[in-house]
Structure 1
Amino acid sequence: MDKKRRNFIRSLALTPLLAGIQSSFAHSALKPLPQTRVQYSLNAFSFNSQLRSGEMSFFDMMEFAAAIGLNAVDLTGYYFPSYPEIPEDTELFQLKRKALELGLNISWTGVRNNFVNPDATGRAADRELIRKWLTVSSSLGASIMRVFTGSQAYEGFTKDEVKDWLVEEFKTCAGYGEEKGVIVGLQNHNEFLFESSEVIDILKRVDSEWFGLILDIGSLHSKDPYAEIETLAPFANYWFIKEHVFPNGTRTPVDMNRISSIIKNQGYQGYVSFESLSEGDPKQIISSMFNSFKRAYEIIS
């Protein structure tokens, strides 16, 4: 049997197998991927006292996060010794190296700003702070940076006028974020925008893919925080899970089953970050929160 004939027979034998493989790929391509993939992170504010006193460092926090099985850490800007000035690159790169060694991502950074400030010069200074720290976020490989509305007396102005300031400031900051490849994420923080409808209004008016929402479940103090959370869920780029919610302002242990259901039913894929504000051992509290959420999330069909 000559070589040409052998190759022809071999190709006939392989045809059903190749057709089956192609059919399998085509079939799988038609199947929608399950919209339930989340990653877990740890917010530095959980260790506020320890980080400020020097009892812990970012490196210690990262080791703890890796040890309990988290995927990432949120490195808040004001725990860097240089804040509000930006750190040296050498400091940032050491953190990136440590994260790589531990199999972690640095998903988030955050600053403290106040755009509810009637003083335009003060708002400009905070705008510049955000611009500089977006460079830090980019250097760390963080995909989102937290900003606030701020909270301050604004006598002589209406709330709608202040909202106009916010929209213009956030539009400018979103432009900075686009330049650095980092989303500017507004954390609803129960300090100026108190209802989900107000938060959504600002998001829609800014109207930028580089401006988003960090959904803080502990900062909605309405009659039914879970309803507010569910309303905001479609807009969330990042989630903060805390151990309490506040119906009518009353501190109440969070229902992890309800929160995890909202997140999973929304089809959210991204980071869920844990932040403890309670007294006690933050390591124990965070471990308990993480395990409770994960158990609840995994049993939802």
Structure 2
Amino acid sequence: MDKKRRNILRGLAIAPALFASHHQSASSKTDNLAQHRVQYSVNAYSFNSLLRSGEMTFFDMMEFAAEIGLNAVDLTGYYFPSYPEIPSNSELFPLKRRALELGLNISWTGIRNDFVNPDADSRKADRDLIKKWLTVSSNLGASIMRVFTGKHSYDGFTRDEVKNWLVEEYKICAGYGEESGVIVGLQNHNEFLFQSDEIIDILKRVDSEWFGLILDIGSLNAVNPYDEIEKLAPYANYWFIKEHVFPNGIKTEVDMKKLAPIIRNQGYQGYISFESLSDGDPKQIVSSMFIAFRTAYEKL
């Protein structure tokens, strides 16, 4: 057999192994990307004063989000002029269309509610409000709607009794969520449920795929908030990143290099939303938060 022919045959023998190796490498890279695919959003409260004064609109907010490379926006309900009444579809649908034009999703909405209130009629009124706004969420194409616990005085009742109210109300609301195709997301908003174990207990007791957690990293006051965040991470349907955490109640700038691995190690694939609560230019602050987190995350 001549040398040229031997080289050709050797090449043919090696080629499948090389192809398999390349395919496995490409497949592994694709799997890795799929396991850690996240989307970025911004919460309307970052622009609270601007939206309330009329200096900014939801359309302006969407254009800002698209400009800095976010994937979505969170259109909180109480910035609609009609709130608590629901807006008309003629107001909602132009927002939905503009989001499409900008390549954005409208990932969530949110309302105010208080299920800590001992008055059952008041709780029912808030429950009815949630049901109405779940319809708004659905019409906008949002996949999740934020609700709170509330922080009403519950003098004369124990914390366990209040937790029973919460579970009862959230179970009913989860049913409304299933009807509208929108997950009801509890934001741990530093109001009644302060510890990760309490929050997990409520989630387990409600026990519905239509009730989940919007993990607010800025509302976990503990010796080490990152430990609390890590405990809650497996339950998060949505992440809410603020610029500060509060170890031992002390306001401290969030360490994106500590936070990013917690999210990535869960294989989380959903939305991560940024919210600024600081004085200053919210556009600049949100942009800086986004860059800092994305840089930390992509280096892992």
TM-score, normalised to structure 2, is: 0.90
1:58-97 correspondence to structure 2 within 5 Å: 58-97=58-97
Percent of paired sites with the same residue: 76
User: In the alignment, residue 193 of structure 1 is paired with which amino acid?
Assistant: L
Distance in 2 separating the partners of 1:198 and 1:260 = 24
Which whole-Å CA distance do the structure 1 matches of 2:52 and 2:270 have between them?
29
Query: Are 1:116 and 2:112 counterparts?
Result: no
Distance 2:268 2:258 in 1: 15
RMSD of aligned residue pairs (Cα, Å): 1.7
What residue in structure 2 maps to residue 12 of structure 1?
Answer: none
User: Deviations for 1:44-89, whole angstroms, at most 9, x for unmatched residues?
Assistant: 0000000000000000000000000000000000000000000000
Comparing 136-145 with 261-270, greater Cα deviation is found at 261-270
Kindly state the Cα deviation for residue 43 of structure 1 after the two structures are TM-superposed: 0.3
Q: Distance in 2 between matches of 1:100 and 1:268?
A: 24
Could you tell me which residue of structure 2 aligns to residue 149 of structure 1? 149
Question: Structure 2, unaligned stretches of length 5 or more?
Answer: 1-15
- Cα distance in 2 for partners of 1:231, 1:198 equals 11
Counterpart in 2 of 1:223?
223
2:128 is matched by which residue type in structure 1? E
1:165 match = 165
Tell me whether 1:234 sits opposite 2:240 in the alignment.
no
**Structure 2 match to 1:98:** 98
What SS does the aligned partner of 2:193 have?
A: coil
TM-score by length of 1: 0.90
Please report how far the alpha carbon of residue 257 of structure 1 lies from its aligned counterpart in structure 2 after TM superposition: 0.6
Q: Secondary structure at the residue paired with 1:272?
A: strand
Structure 2 residue 184 is matched with structure 1 residue 187: no
Q: Which residue matches 1:178?
A: 178
Give the corresponding residue for 1:286.
286
How many residue pairs get aligned? The number is 278
The one-letter amino acid paired with 1:156 is: G
Q: Distance in 1 between the 2:242 and 2:85 partners?
A: 29
Match of residue 5 from structure 1: none
- Residue 127 of structure 1 corresponds to 127
Deviations 1:172-210 (A, max 9, x none): 000000000000000001110010000000000000000
Instruction: Give 3-state SS (helix, strand or coil) of 1:278's partner.
Output: coil
| Counterpart residue type for residue 194 of structure 2 | F
Where 1:230 maps in the other structure, the secondary structure is helix
Whole-Å separation in 2 of the counterparts to 1:155 and 1:251 = 29
Q: CA deviation at 1:156?
A: 1.1
SS in 2 for 1:218: helix
> Secondary structure of the residue that 2:75 maps to in structure 1?
strand
Any idea what SS the aligned residue of 1:114 has?
coil
Structure 1: stretches of 5+ with no match in the other structure = 1-16
